[in-house]
């Protein structure tokens, strides 16, 4: 032991000397006067010297990173006995604050300098089309374009195709929503099954016919109900190219609010089903109905080995701009991509909708005449009052000429002479008569056009991939490659407007209860791949893993071994917490940490008595905080209280707590409570166990504090006012207010999709002043403000690490008595954000935004699935969220989030109803204030970053700084990533149902032998299905994501372990007691092997990359 300590001290000394030497070298390099001669233009000899210096620096940095790792390992070994729950007792200061002593074990924040280079950017060529810049430059005017109202007149010469024929692919399709106005089952019963049944028979009637299908969920349900003969026919249709399954996801997902875990999971579900049942591998993406588009989807499709994709619902002004510049087809590239490895070819449909009137060409009045479902006598007609006519020998020449004119005009918007013409709409082709009408009439038109060589057109039915293959062939490139002259685009297509100022930004928040429930289900589903009786799956698995003697395991569905800490009476109610009844027998609770990182968290349980002792698995008494449980602002629940304790939980592991009836005066620490009534005549119930002070009319501001910060609140509103870091004198303004948006008095009003406010938001004015309740204790303190429609809770954890570095906030919202109002939370700060703010896309990447004054207020709202932030040179404030909501920054230093919407009318987008089914909804957030370091006094890493920017990227320094300063890319810090995961993947508490435990006791379960680097996220460990439906496969899909992060935010005294490894991870030694016997990298959805199976279990990921591995554990 003594020798180990000497080695540790010696290693630390070497490290300090090396770092000091590096610091001096950097200082010399930065202050070398020869660098500034000739305006920074270096002679070649000096560039060579600097390059050598950089290489030496890289080598030294690597050596020092290895030294850090060795020191870390040695010290962790020395302090191994300090493992387990923190047991040190908090103590009370004379100033009234609690202090939790530091843990005996050390913490490390060891980041490889090379890992910091990624966020600096500056690699690769700049795309020709950057959506942030395009949005800033476009006028977004709405000039009447004639027959193409949102576009312009299109002209052409009949001789434009003399050298090369126009090649037209008409693509029949039917978009089937898995639940919209009707339920999934009702749609299937009434429409979808008939579409698919007719598809089999009608495609077989003529081999020239084609059909497109996207939603595998419907297809799988239909497949279960058809006979073997029909299944064989379907496989033949897929095999000969008449039927194409596009995208291949379980659904066509929303791209604004969905989390990337769910996007990937539904894509794997669909692809695995297709491979097993049809032998099909999707090649092209088809997304006609999402309301705006995220670059996350093209990334995922490309990693699933798709080469091309199509989108439709893009802002009409952007469509017009892209059409006028022949940019409707482009390579969509991720912002971080330096080598075009994420490129996917994308086709943007140019007109208003994907229905037939808006797909053949620019004039819907003419195109509608070629939707033969609308023939006279049918149930639908053309709004332009000119009906279709059946094609006969007598009229085919005239009708074909009219249609060809539209085809030619549409083709002038694209760079090639290959034209795509979708032919379908929602739930189309549900009757055999429609199949006959469309296919017979179009075939007559095609036959006529193709028989006239002087027309220079070849028209046919096709699939989406038929179109893309013809385009690639015509442009002379391999499928998926960039055709010559086609532009590259980066960015996203939010927010979407389909006409006028009708922005689809309301649905970012609509029905927030279900958005929150969705995230809860994702947390449960992340490692447990079953939607049937999901809680029982967790309970039974945990039961088995924590048993000391596995032989005693017995599953009894009538008497489950474990309970859930939270239960819901039904799907549309908030969860109710389980109360653990204490008596003479000890009670046990199993805690499950679904994260791949060890975590220190405060776990709170409801118990039947304040006289409670909590012991660790080893029987060690733990310090606990006892708090009152409240049923309202002023009513304590007499026979229930809350016990809270900090617990260190193993990565992906289970820990066991024991609860006993009894009192440990040193370790059972009661919270104190103050209630501010603000002059309201209310009775406040009391319990002797909890000190309570009632303040009738006080309005003075007050503060809560922990080891990192002091947080001030308004004594009048109970809402946040400011935050002061403990190492700073200055307070940072961070104050909150609630606001109300109304809707317009005109005909067009806000609804489920559209946000059409009647002007600026107005302050929320409650009928009565709020009742405030302030709870202070050793492990957390909180302020609860009770308003008429909101219960706002801000909690400060007194712990080292992730929990203590941010504020936990929740807003329980109930606006069921509102009429056409929307409730918003606005945060004001003194951050000089200069009109810029940042929102995440699908929890996967961050997209910079800019407030555009030229656009209406509602156009400046964006989706926020997991976070949004504002920043200046000194600070960054991030609002993390546990549910998708709409967010904006309408003024400098502000963040604003819409909490709920209650709207009494439909917004004329097909839903046919308002938003009147509001629930009591709890929105959960974390607020993280970080200090930026690159703009402050240069330290070691900021000098390093500056040198890399100045030297390596000197030739394009101006452009790169413009990119950085113009906010075209941005990344959260590692702390911010971990904060988001703590919020969205909480600890599960599973009380043991039985009083007496048979046989050996329970013990913890530590599945991981070593931690993953903290920029790695184990996204999913997904059991695969075997050939036998009843059995799982012996192989598992492991999906890893290496997060991109910004090192330019302060990382001192964070209080948790974190190290990075330049993208390397050793999977062979990851699992306790399990060898990785088989490891094969595959495409994202496991359809394509990327390399042969290998005995090597070391993997490497670039930043931001998601990688899938097929593995077998033994």
* Residues with catalytic roles: 289
Q: How many CA atoms lie within 13 A of 208 on its CB side?
A: 12
CA distances 868 to 301, 926, 976, Å, are: 25, 11, 11
Comparing CA positions, the residue from 443, 440, 770, 529 lying closest to residue 634 is 770
Cα gap 562→634, rounded to integer Å: 33
Cα–Cα distance measured from residue 428 to residue 446, given in angstroms and rounded to the nearest whole number? 21
Contacts for 269 with CB less than 8 Å, ≥ 6 apart: 216, 249, 250
DSSP-derived secondary structure for 664-724? -TTTEEEPEEEEE-TT--------TTS-EEEESS----EEEE-SSEEEEE-TTT--EEEEE
CA distance 1015 to 803: 18
Contact 768, 666 (CB under 8 A): no
The set of residues, in sequence order, having a beta carbon less than 8 Å from that of 27 and lying 6+ positions away, is: 943
Beta bridge partners of 493: 293
Query: Are 606 and 640 within 8 A, CB to CB?
Result: yes
Listed residue (601, 1058, 1052) closest to 804, CA to CA: 601
Distances (CA, A) of 496 to 507, 756, 758, 860, 918: 11, 13, 19, 11, 25
Distances (CA, A) of 1005 to 118, 650, 656, 870, 983: 36, 8, 9, 40, 23
Q: Which tokens in the block code for residue 87?
A: 């047991």
d(CA 901, CA 889): 19
Burial profile 702-725: b = 16 or more Cβ within 10 angstroms, e = fewer: bbbbbebbbbbbbbebbbbbbbbb
Tokens 């209650």 correspond to what residue? 902
Cα(713)–Cα(909) distance, integer angstroms? 43
Would you say 868 and 839 are in contact if contact means Cβ atoms under 8 Å apart? yes
Q: Are 30 and 943 in contact (CB under 8 A)?
A: yes
Task: Say which residues have a Cβ less than 8 Å from residue 775's Cβ, sequence separation at least 6.
Answer: 627, 628, 671, 672, 673, 781, 782, 783, 784
Q: Which helix (H) or strand (E) holds 131?
A: helix 131-137
Task: Retrieve residue 986's tokens.
Answer: 């909480």
- Residues with Cβ within 8 Å of 219's Cβ and at least 6 positions away in sequence, in order, are 196, 213, 245
d(CA 788, CA 768): 8
Neighbours of 140 (CB within 10 A): 18
- Pick from 130, 111, 126, 133: nearest CA to 64: 111
DSSP 413-468: TSSSSEEEEEEEEET---SHHHHHHHHHHHHHHHHHHHT-GGG-EEEEE--HHHHH
CA distance 284 to 307: 6
Instruction: Enter the tokens of residue 20.
Output: 């000091």
List all residues 6 or more positions away from 983 whose beta carbon is below 8 Å from its beta carbon.
880, 881, 882, 924, 925, 926
Q: Environment class of residue 983 by beta-carbon count within 10 Å: exposed (0-12), middle (13-18) or buried (19+)?
A: buried
């Amino acid at each position: 032991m003594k020798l180990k300590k000497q080695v540790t001290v010696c290693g630390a000394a070497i490290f300090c000397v090396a770092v000091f030497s590096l610091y001096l070298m950097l200082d010399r390099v930065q202050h070398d006067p020869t660098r500034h001669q000739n305006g920074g233009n270096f002679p070649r000899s000096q560039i060579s010297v600097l390059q050598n210096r950089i290489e030496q620096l890289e080598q030294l940095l690597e050596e020092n990173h290895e030294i850090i790792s060795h020191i870390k390992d040695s010290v962790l070994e020395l302090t191994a006995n300090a493992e387990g729950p923190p047991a040190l007792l908090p103590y009370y200061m004379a100033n009234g604050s609690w202090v939790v002593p530091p843990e005996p074990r050390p913490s490390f924040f060891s980041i490889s300098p090379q890992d910091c280079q990624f966020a600096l950017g500056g690699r690769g060529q700049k795309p020709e089309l950057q959506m942030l810049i395009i949005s800033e430059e476009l006028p977004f005017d709405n000039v009447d374009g004639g027959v193409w109202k949102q576009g312009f007149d299109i002209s052409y010469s009949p001789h434009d195709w003399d050298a090369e024929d126009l090649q037209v692919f008409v693509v029949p399709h039917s978009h089937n929503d898995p639940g919209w106005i009707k339920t999934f089952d009702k749609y299937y019963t009434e429409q979808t099954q008939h579409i698919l049944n007719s598809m089999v028979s009608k495609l077989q009637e003529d081999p020239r016919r084609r059909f497109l299908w996207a939603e595998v969920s419907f297809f799988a349900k239909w497949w279960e109900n058809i006979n073997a003969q029909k299944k064989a026919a379907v496989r033949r249709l897929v095999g000969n190219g008449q039927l194409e399954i596009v995208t291949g996801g379980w659904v066509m997902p929303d791209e604004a609010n969905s989390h990337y875990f769910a996007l990937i999971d539904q894509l794997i579900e669909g692809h695995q089903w297709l491979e097993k049942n049809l032998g099909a591998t999707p090649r092209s993406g088809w997304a006609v109905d999402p309301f705006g588009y995220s670059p996350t989807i093209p990334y995922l499709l490309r990693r699933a080995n798709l080469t091309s994709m199509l989108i439709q619902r893009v802002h009409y002004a952007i469509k017009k701009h892209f059409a006028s510049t022949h940019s409707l087809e482009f390579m969509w590239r991720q912002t971080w991509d330096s080598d075009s490895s994420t490129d996917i070819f994308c086709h943007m449909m140019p007109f208003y909708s994907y229905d037939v009137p808006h797909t053949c060409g620019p004039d819907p009045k003419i195109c509608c005449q070629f939707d033969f479902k609308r023939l006279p006598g049918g149930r639908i007609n053309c709004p332009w009052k000119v009906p279709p006519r059946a094609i006969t020998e007598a009229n085919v020449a005239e009708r074909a000429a009219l249609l060809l004119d539209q085809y030619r005009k549409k083709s002038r918007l694209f760079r090639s002479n290959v034209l795509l013409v979708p032919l379908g709409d929602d739930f189309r082709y549900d009757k055999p008569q429609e199949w006959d009408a469309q296919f017979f009439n179009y075939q007559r038109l095609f036959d006529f056009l193709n028989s006239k060589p002087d027309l220079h057109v070849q028209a046919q039915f096709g699939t989406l991939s038929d179109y893309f293959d013809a385009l690639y062939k015509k442009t002379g490139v391999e499928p998926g490659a960039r055709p010559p002259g086609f532009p590259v685009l980066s960015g996203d297509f939010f927010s979407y407007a389909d006409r006028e100022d009708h922005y689809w930004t309301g649905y970012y928040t609509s029905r927030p209860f279900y958005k929150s429930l969705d995230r809860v289900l994702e947390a449960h589903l992340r490692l447990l791949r079953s939607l049937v009786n999901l809680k029982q799956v967790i309970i039974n698995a945990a039961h088995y893993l924590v048993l000391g003697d596995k032989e005693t395991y017995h599953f009894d569905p009538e008497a489950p071994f474990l309970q859930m800490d939270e239960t819901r009476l039904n799907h549309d109610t908030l969860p109710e917490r389980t109360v653990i009844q204490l008596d003479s027998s000890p009670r046990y609770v199993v805690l499950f940490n679904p994260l791949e990182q060890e975590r220190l968290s405060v776990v709170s349980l409801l118990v039947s008595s304040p006289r409670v002792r909590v012991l660790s698995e080893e029987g060690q008494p733990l310090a606990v905080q006892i708090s009152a449980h409240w049923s309202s602002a002023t009513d304590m629940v007499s026979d229930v209280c809350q016990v809270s304790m900090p617990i260190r939980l193993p990565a992906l592991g289970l820990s066991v707590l024991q609860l006993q009836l009894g009192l440990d005066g040193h370790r059972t620490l009661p919270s104190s409570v103050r209630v501010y009534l603000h002059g309201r005549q209310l009775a406040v119930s009391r319990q002797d166990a909890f000190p309570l002070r009632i303040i009738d009319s006080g309005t003075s501001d007050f503060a809560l504090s922990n080891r990192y910060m002091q947080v001030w609140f308004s004594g009048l509103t109970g809402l946040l006012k400011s935050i002061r870091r403990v190492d700073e004198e200055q307070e940072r303004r961070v104050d909150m207010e609630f606001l109300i948006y109304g809707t317009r008095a005109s005909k067009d009003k806000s609804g489920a999709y559209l946000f059409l406010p009647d002007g600026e938001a107005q302050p929320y004015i409650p009928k009565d002043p709020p009742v405030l309740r302030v709870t202070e204790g050793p492990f957390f303190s909180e302020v609860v403000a009770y308003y008429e429609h909101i219960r706002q809770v801000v909690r400060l954890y007194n712990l080292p690490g992730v929990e203590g570095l941010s504020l936990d906030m929740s807003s329980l919202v109930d606006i069921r008595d509102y009429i056409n109002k929307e409730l918003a939370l606005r945060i004001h700060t003194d951050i000089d954000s200069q009109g810029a703010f940042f929102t995440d896309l699908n929890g996967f990447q961050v997209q910079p935004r800019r407030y555009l004054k030229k656009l209406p207020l509602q156009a400046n709202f964006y989706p926020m699935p997991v976070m949004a932030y504002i920043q200046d040179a000194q600070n960054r404030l991030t609002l993390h969220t546990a549910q998708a909501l709409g967010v904006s920054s309408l003024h400098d230093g502000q963040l604003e989030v819409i909490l709920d919407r209650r709207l009494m009318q439909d917004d004329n987008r097909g839903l046919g109803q308002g938003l009147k089914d509001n629930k009591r909804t709890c929105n959960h957030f974390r607020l993280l204030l970080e200090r930026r370091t690159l703009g402050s006094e240069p330290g070691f890493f900021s000098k390093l970053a500056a040198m890399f920017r100045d030297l390596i990227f000197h030739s394009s320094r101006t452009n790169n700084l413009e990119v950085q300063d113009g906010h075209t890319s941005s990344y959260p810090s590692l702390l911010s990533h971990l904060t988001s995961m703590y919020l969205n993947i909480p600890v599960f508490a599973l009380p043991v149902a039985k009083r007496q435990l048979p046989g050996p006791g329970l013990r913890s379960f530590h599945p991981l032998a070593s931690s993953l680097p903290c920029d790695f996220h184990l996204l999913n460990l997904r059991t695969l299905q075997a050939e036998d439906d009843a059995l799982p496969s012996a192989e598992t899909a492991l999906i890893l994501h290496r997060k991109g992060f910004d090192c330019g935010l302060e990382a001192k005294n964070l209080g948790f372990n974190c190290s990075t490894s330049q993208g390397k991870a050793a999977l062979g030694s990851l699992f306790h007691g399990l060898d990785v016997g088989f490891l094969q990298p595959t495409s994202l959805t496991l359809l394509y092997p990327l390399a042969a199976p290998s005995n090597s279990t070391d993997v490497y990921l670039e930043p931001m990359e998601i990688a899938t591995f097929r593995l077998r554990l033994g």
